[in-house]
Amino acid sequence: MDAKRVKQILSSSADIEVQYNGVSVWIDQLNEDGRTATVHLRGPLEERSTVEIHELQEI
């Protein structure tokens, strides 16, 4: 995924499924470097991680 698509997903009101390493995640923000994003798992856990956006996959 690229930074432009991450921004589109963040501004969308639709529920767009995104996966990181085969696990569904929510994108919280695109980080200032434009190469990483902060995400957290869908579900009850609120653990956040910083990941490379090229590793995110839209489903």
Domains assigned to the chain: 3-58 (2.30.30)
Judge whether 15 and 32 are in contact, CB under 8 Å.
Answer: no
pLDDT higher than 90, residue 46: no
Other Cβ atoms within 10 Å of 10 Cβ, number: 14
* 56 vs 43, higher pLDDT: 56
Residue 40's Cα: distance from chain center in Å?
8
Q: Which residues contact 13 (CB under 8 A, 6 or more apart)?
A: none
- Work out the percent of the chain whose per-residue pLDDT is above 70: 100
> What's the confidence (pLDDT) of residue 45?
73
Q: What angle do CA 51, 7, 54 make, to 5 degrees?
A: 35
- Can you tell me the distance from the alpha carbon of 36 to that of 29, in angstroms, rounded to the nearest whole number? 9
Average pLDDT over residues 3-13: 97
